[in-house]
Structure 1
Amino acid sequence: MSDALFQNCYYIGNNFNCILYGVELVLYAMTMRRLLSFKSRSRADVFFMVFSTTNLVLITIFVAVQSVFGEEMWIVNADFPGGQGAYLQEYAAVWYQTMGTTTTVAMNLFSDGLLISRCFIVWNDFRVIIVPGFLYIATLALGIVELWASGAPHNDFFSGLAAHLGVTYYATSIGLNVLVTSLILGRILAFAHKSKRHFGDDGSSMYFSVASMIIESALPYSVAGIAFVVSYGMNSQVSILFLSFYVMFTCVSPQMLVLRVAEGRAWKRNQMTEAMTTTIAFSSRVQGSGNDSSQYTSATRSGGNIHLELQPTRKTGSVSADDVTKVISSADSNL
């Protein structure tokens, strides 16, 4: 895998690495600023600080390795016998490239572990994560074997035994991503449908948005993974480009999720119970007399308080005491 298409994809991938690395730096700074602002930190806060810092270090190593190898291949050894393709085949298993591959495997394990924990929080049921748990153990074992195969002298990550093992490893890892992402998205969408049915569009929008579902499920991570594993399995020369997207989103997507957790906007374990029991909306119709048009009233309970919203009739432009009494009685019976 050494022709012009591969070289161009490698170059473009390195540029996108730098762009997404900048995004990661911003997300990391926002996360740490938020976590450090807490006067007292829980164990979860400390964990997220360590998780974010570790991921930043790992992605920094990956970006640096890819940039250095590109510099060595295109600039320092531009006159290498046989050209850049020959250099790639000769030094694909150089020690720092193996280190870069190791960081990707480590980030996969960290990110998949975080996704599995979020899946449990969304579902609040251990049975849901049994299959993802077995797949996680499989990715750990396959990842170690892949590192051995790709790091052996004169081996190439994109060909031979390393490529065959790599397809198996990445197919398992990305299959885990897709499964967990689907479980999280399915749960959120089901709850969104139920909330819309009970609360209407305004009530459901309090808990759901397209952005929140994308971040909670780490959707970009899974989509980039599918693109990579398909191209990698086909031995396509654009796979190096999709690898860059996949590895970068392995870091960026979990960091967006951690930031959302730090800001207190992420899904909580008791989210469904809390939403269904503390906010109940309904509408009742109060008929006016004479030429008065119907007026709609609504009530919402938050904690122990009932909040009323009344619309005055067209004739009087006001709300009568009888209307308030009717709404309170209806609120007490419905809430």
Structure 2
Amino acid sequence: MSSLFQNAYYIGINFNAILYGVELVLYGMTMNELVSRRKKWTRTDKVYMAFSTALLVLITIYMSTEAVFGEEMWIVNQNAPGGPLGFLVENADIWYQTMGTTASVILNLCSDALLIYRMYVVWTSLWVIAFPCFLYVATIGLGIIELYASGKPNADFFVGRAQQLGIAYYTTTISLNVIATCVICGRLIYLGRALEAARNTQGRGRGVIRYTGTLPMVVESALPYSMAGFAFLVAYGIESDISILFGALYGMFTCISPQLIVLRVVTGQAWTKDQTAQSLSAMEFENLGASRTAATTTAAQSEGTSTMDHKSVGSVQDMV
């Protein structure tokens, strides 16, 4: 591990602190919205409250262990044999680092589960989520193996067998992220344009922008989560020392992106199954109307042609 790794680690810890503040604000907004209507709580509201709290607890464990390890490496044990880098190599498998990695893996599973559910919401089809569900099951197995490989004595998350298994795990889970992002984005673009076309007015069509605009689409599809994951996977795969920085960003967006989705859901701004059904009904109605218009036009043209033919025949007979 070079000094570049230490610099990237330090910057990552600072970004963790900043983004943790963002998560606290989002969590507070979500809880405030849910508590304000506590007399009308549904089972879904309770699930989202528990889910948001779980995200906060897991991300707190993750970022705290990273910060504590940095303090131990640079301050408490700065004079250890080999300096901070020597301490890093000797203690990469320390128990609380394993705990932080475990929290990160569980956080990934929670976030991916929410993404799969959102895919089902915008598609309302089990076939669409079949392959993502297969990848999800694979991430569970690979995540457990990765935790064992990186947590056993003398193991290091960034080198050796643990790193190879880590590539397999993160390739699977980030592939799931990217697939979910693309599928949700594509579906929202399609449904949004269809709904605007069906309403057939410039003014009323703007109402769907709150669901299909650029910002809502970025949030609904968890785009920052997928982009940070892809950047981390590339850096981790080539064993770059800045992978720790991208890993920190990926870990925080694993929490922030799903929290943003939950916030949009509880405030009534997220895409729902009802809106999917409404869009599909609107498209069917529009297609039916277009078919009827085409049929009416064809009939009118046929009638006009027939009338002209009768007039032409009559004119010829008069001439004769």
TM-score, normalisation: structure 1: 0.81
Q: Tell me whether 1:235 sits opposite 2:234 in the alignment.
A: no
Q: How far apart are residue 192 of structure 1 and its match?
A: 2.2
Q: Tell me whether 1:255 sits opposite 2:256 in the alignment.
A: no
On the 8 A contact 1:65/1:96 being kept in 2, the answer is yes
Gaps of 5+ in 2: 287-320
User: Whole-Å Cα distance in 2 between the matches of residues 200 and 95 of structure 1?
Assistant: 61
User: Whole-Å Cα distance in 2 between the matches of residues 86 and 42 of structure 1?
Assistant: 53
Gaps of 5+ in 1: 283-335
Say which structure is richer in strand.
1
On the 8 A contact 2:225/2:253 being kept in 1, the answer is yes
CA RMSD of aligned residues (A): 1.8
User: Whole-Å Cα distance in 2 between the matches of residues 227 and 149 of structure 1?
Assistant: 23
Spell out, residue by residue over 1:86-135, the C-alpha distance to the aligned partner (whole angstroms, 9 max, x if none). Answer: 11110000000000000000000000000000100010111100000000
On the 8 A contact 2:220/2:270 being kept in 1, the answer is yes
User: Whole-Å Cα distance in 2 between the matches of residues 201 and 162 of structure 1?
Assistant: 56
Distance 1:257 1:136, change over 3 A: same
Structure 2 counterpart of 1:228, one-letter code: F
Structure 1 counterpart of 2:11, one-letter code: I
Q: How far apart are residue 277 of structure 1 and its match?
A: 5.4
User: Whole-Å Cα distance in 1 between the matches of residues 204 and 185 of structure 2?
Assistant: 19
Secondary structure of 1:158's counterpart equals coil
Q: How far apart are residue 25 of structure 1 and its match?
A: 0.2
1:184-203 mapped onto 2 (5 Å cutoff): 184-198=184-198, 199-203=200-204
Q: Tell me whether 1:87 sits opposite 2:91 in the alignment.
A: no
On the 8 A contact 1:59/1:103 being kept in 2, the answer is yes
Q: How far apart are residue 193 of structure 1 and its match?
A: 2.4
Structure 2 counterpart of 1:146, one-letter code: E
Aligned to 1:205: 206
On the 8 A contact 1:192/1:204 being kept in 2, the answer is no
Secondary structure of 2:272's counterpart equals coil
Structure 1 counterpart of 2:164, one-letter code: H
Number of matched pairs: 281
On the 8 A contact 2:191/2:279 being kept in 1, the answer is no
Q: Identical aligned pairs, as a percentage?
A: 52
User: Whole-Å Cα distance in 2 between the matches of residues 100 and 71 of structure 1?
Assistant: 15
On the 8 A contact 1:111/1:250 being kept in 2, the answer is yes
Structure 1 counterpart of 2:190, one-letter code: A
On the 8 A contact 1:158/1:235 being kept in 2, the answer is yes
Aligned to 2:148: 148
Aligned to 1:328: none
Aligned to 1:271: 275
On the 8 A contact 2:167/2:233 being kept in 1, the answer is yes
Spell out, residue by residue over 1:44-71, the C-alpha distance to the aligned partner (whole angstroms, 9 max, x if none). Answer: 1000000000110010011110000000
Structure 1 counterpart of 2:208, one-letter code: Y
1:22-33 mapped onto 2 (5 Å cutoff): 22-33=21-32
Q: How far apart are residue 206 of structure 1 and its match?
A: 1.5
Spell out, residue by residue over 1:290-330, the C-alpha distance to the aligned partner (whole angstroms, 9 max, x if none). Answer: xxxxxxxxxxxxxxxxxxxxxxxxxxxxxxxxxxxxxxxxx
User: Whole-Å Cα distance in 2 between the matches of residues 193 and 49 of structure 1?
Assistant: 33
Secondary structure of 1:67's counterpart equals helix
Deviation larger for 55-64 or 267-276: 267-276
On the 8 A contact 1:195/1:203 being kept in 2, the answer is no
Aligned to 1:10: 9
On the 8 A contact 2:232/2:250 being kept in 1, the answer is yes
Structure 2 counterpart of 1:192, one-letter code: G
Aligned to 2:313: none
User: Whole-Å Cα distance in 2 between the matches of residues 167 and 204 of structure 1?
Assistant: 45
Aligned to 1:221: 225
Secondary structure of 2:40's counterpart equals coil
Distance 1:164 1:276, change over 3 A: closer
